Amino acid sequence: MTLARLDVEVFDPYTAPEADLVGYHRVMAAWWRTDKPDLPPLTYDDCVGRLKTPFPGFGEEVLWVARHQGEILGFATVDFLEQEGSHIALTEINVDPGVRRQGIGTTMLRALLPELRVRDRDVVEGWQLTVGGDGPKWAESRGFRTVHTVLMQTLEFSEADPTLWDVVVPPGYRTRRWIGAAPEELVASYAEARQAIHDAPLGELEYQEPDWTVARVREHETELRAAGTEQRVVVVVHESTGTVAGLTELGVHPNDLTWGYQRDTAVLTAYRGHGLGRCIKAEMIRWLLGQN
């Protein structure tokens, strides 16, 4: 069944009235409960906070809202990636689970396509689909195909064995850590170490990891600061050469300080096989918990 009339228009979260923000939270919280049942409920403050301060590094974000007789039924979000991803529209379409299978998602997809064409985007990718849920079924019916699958994991500190992060630094290495900007004396080697993430398997994704340079690192750090995101970094340094051999980074979003979002963890090929990844992840956890 398809709704007889559905109005789709661009949605500006910064000028939207409170009633529309409440409607946004209602739709997103219902989607969250349905597609992410293992996670804590999505609160209004966290939801609207994410909306107004999206994760940096994904380019300009544009939203569309779908209404039927004034009632908000769904949202579409498109991040217009830059540089390596300048041909990609990273797209997320969320429909209230109570009104799915009525053509709402398809109508929103059609409504945003003209903007994608204007911006020369010839690839649409979506990352927020849950295996076995409605999202993949709908996407396949629209001609999309699955090109990559990831497993999302959470670590509840209160339920974990703390001895798991009692890990020593291997001989010949030392760790460094910081919040925000990389130390000037390490930033060049840190940028080179970040290139190791290119070895991560991405299936047939069009998205490519950034080509990390010192300038790119500093640009990314500036974006994080502007968004109010606390970026914690732990690196492991090869003592005899001073090379940053590996790194792990974690972001704390300003709207929910109880969650840390694991980002890249990578070790340069020449230094793999020594437990460096586990070592720096363990130090990150101890740091978060104030244990060292």
**Residue 102 confidence (pLDDT):** 94
Number of domains in the chain: 2
Q: Please, are residues 247 and 261 in contact by the beta-carbon 8 Å criterion?
A: no
Which residues of the chain have a pLDDT value below 70?
A: 1-4, 291-292
Please list, in sequence order, all residues whose beta carbon lies within 8 angstroms of the beta carbon of residue 66, skipping any fewer than 6 positions away: 6, 7, 8, 72, 73, 74, 75, 76, 95, 104, 107, 108
Let me know whether 234 and 123 are in one domain: no
Let me know whether 172 and 272 are in one domain: yes
**Residue 261 confidence (pLDDT):** 87
**Residue 253 confidence (pLDDT):** 86
Q: What is the pLDDT of residues 100-123, one digit of tens each?
A: 999 999 999 999 999 999 999 999
User: Token pair of 277, please?
Assistant: 């990844």
**Residue 259 confidence (pLDDT):** 80
- Domain ends where: 84, 111, 141? 141
Let me know whether 122 and 164 are in one domain: no
- Domain ends where: 96, 113, 141? 141
DSSP per residue, the chain? ---S--EEEEE-TTT--HHHHHHHHHHHHHHHHHH-TTSPP--HHHHHHHHHSPPSSS-EEEEEEEEETTEEEEEEEEEE--GGGTTEEEEEEEE-GGG-SSSHHHHHHHHHHHHHHHTT--EEE-----TTSHHHHHHHHTT-------------GGGS-GGGG--PPPTTEEEEEEESSPPTTTHHHHHHHHGGGGGS--TT-S-------HHHHHHHHHHHHHHT-EEEEEEEEETTTTEEEEEEEEEE-TT-TT--EEEEEEE-GGGTTSSHHHHHHHHHHHHHTT--
Report how far residue 93's alpha carbon sits from residue 64's, in angstroms, rounded to the nearest whole number.
Answer: 9
**Residue 128 confidence (pLDDT):** 85
**Residue 1 confidence (pLDDT):** 53
CA distances from 216 to 12, 80, 141, 195, 280 (A): 29, 18, 39, 11, 23
CATH number at residue 71: 3.40.630.30
- Domain ends where: 141, 174, 194? 141
Closest CA to 98 of 74, 133, 114, 123: 74
Let me know whether 198 and 264 are in one domain: yes
**Residue 2 confidence (pLDDT):** 63
Q: Is residue 207 one of the residues assigned to a domain?
A: yes
Let me know whether 91 and 166 are in one domain: no
- Is pTM beyond 0.85 here? yes
Q: Is residue 2 one of the residues assigned to a domain?
A: no
Report how far residue 1's alpha carbon sits from residue 63's, in angstroms, rounded to the nearest whole number.
Answer: 25
Q: Can you give the residue range of the structural domain that contains 25?
A: 7-141
Let me know whether 97 and 214 are in one domain: no
Let me know whether 119 and 52 are in one domain: yes
Let me know whether 42 and 110 are in one domain: yes
Let me know whether 162 and 283 are in one domain: yes
Q: Is residue 152 one of the residues assigned to a domain?
A: no
Let me know whether 121 and 215 are in one domain: no
Angle between helices 134-141 and 18-35 (to 10 degrees): 100
Let me know whether 232 and 126 are in one domain: no
